Amino acid sequence: MVAYNGEAYIRQALDSIVSQKFSGTFEILVADDRSTDNTAAIIREFAEKNPNIVKPTYREKNLGFSDNIYDVLINAKGTYLAICDNDDYWIDPHKLQKQYDYMEQHPECGFICSAAQLVDEQDRPMNIVRTPYVESFVDLMKSQVDVIAPSIIMRRTQFLQMTDDSKWFIDKEYFFDTVWIYWFSYKKAIHYMPDILTAYRVRSESGSHSEDLEKQNKMDKRSWELKVRFMNMHDVDPDTKYEILSSEYDYLYKMAYYYGTEHVKSSKPYRLGRIIKKLLFWKK
């Protein structure tokens, strides 16, 4: 878990992990990224009460989300790596056990995600997110990825292989769950569980679920860049690339009505998408 100014929610997040009913042993690596509120004090309280489980790190300087989570995961020693942000929490007390059992029975699987309950800042339930499409690389890349981070568990050996393939993303501070999902789906090592195992909190300042059009437009452009970069770094055949990028253009075209037509049509993804559409038309 990485934490920054999470005093409002981190207690609930840590409680949901500490209270897991699990047949084996696990530890919680939680790194406070130089918070300016009481987050570090709450982490310290949990570490004192659960010294065999909660292993805290208190950053001397702020690293930012991507560098912080990379450092936590790369230094973890467990066989499996489970994710939970400081404002999310696990609903099912058997979450770890269910995912652990599946991993043990399917050694080819390196990544599991599940259905999740969205909640608002007052913990009121919103809609449920289901992402069975992640098991197909093409379907995943054609979607606007909405895999919920706290539902994720990864096999550490495969995670380390992924880091070797992901130097560009790490250097650009783009190394987060979207890239992980692309990699594991591309490797056909991903599994979706339909169980609702976790809760994801939708916050007003969240880029991925924001009503702020500028924030959402920025996220969409980054999604385009990540998809193009990932496909260029791996052996994705040209026809599949065209299919995926054409689908991305369709999404941007639809979103033009929300962002403002001229704002979107002047963007590089939109202009490149138009070219791809024409190429696909003339190939028929």
Instruction: State the pLDDT at residue 271.
Output: 56
Q: What is the biggest distance separating any 2 CA atoms in the chain, rounded to whole angstroms? A: 66
| 263 in the same domain as 153 | no
pLDDT at residue 257, rounded to an integer: 45
Same domain? 42 vs 139: yes
Q: Is residue 267 predicted with pLDDT exceeding 60?
A: no
Q: Of 150, 166, 201, which residue constitutes the final position of a domain?
A: 201
pLDDT at 284: 44
Domain region containing 239: 213-283
- CATH for 14: 3.90.550.10
Q: In this structure, is residue 242 part of a structural domain?
A: yes
Mean local confidence (pLDDT), 13-40 = 97
* Same domain as 95, residue 22: yes
Q: How many domains does the chain have?
A: 2
What is the tens place of the pLDDT at every residue in 238-257?
888 877 877 776 666 655 54
Note whether residue 114 is domain-resident.
yes
The reply to whether 189 and 240 lie within a common domain is: no
The answer on 157 and 223 residing in a single domain is: no
* pLDDT for residue 142: 80
Query: Over the stretch 154-166, which tens digit does the pLDDT of each residue have?
Result: 999 999 999 888 8
Our CA angle for 226, 227, 229, nearest 5°, is 65
Same domain for 40 and 181, yes or no, is yes
The verdict on 99 and 228 lying in the same domain is no
Give the pLDDT confidence score for residue 141 in this predicted structure: 82
For the chain, the average pLDDT equals 84
* 232 — pLDDT class (breaks 50, 70, 90): confident
User: Which residues, at least 6 apart from 30, have a Cβ–Cβ distance to it below 8 Å?
Assistant: 1, 2, 3, 14, 43, 46, 54, 55, 56, 57, 86
∠ CA 156-183-265, rounded to 5°: 145
Q: Which residue has the tokens 């652990």?
A: 100
pLDDT at residue 213 is higher than 70: no
Q: Does pLDDT of 22 surpass 80?
A: yes
Domain boundary pick from 150, 174, 201: 201
Q: What pLDDT, in 10s, does the model give residues 75-104?
A: 999 999 999 999 999 999 999 999 999 999
Confidence of residue 235 (pLDDT cuts 50, 70, 90): confident
**Torsion angle, alpha carbons of 115, 252, 182, 210, to 10:** -50
Same domain, 233 and 172: no
> According to DSSP H, which parts of the chain are helical?
10-18, 39-49, 65-74, 95-105, 137-142, 156-165, 167-171, 177-186, 213-233, 238-259, 261-265, 268-283
Q: Which positions ≥6 away from 207 have C-beta within 8 Å?
A: 215, 216, 218, 219
Greater model confidence, 129 or 240: 129
pLDDT score recorded for residue 222: 73
- 207 domain-assigned: no
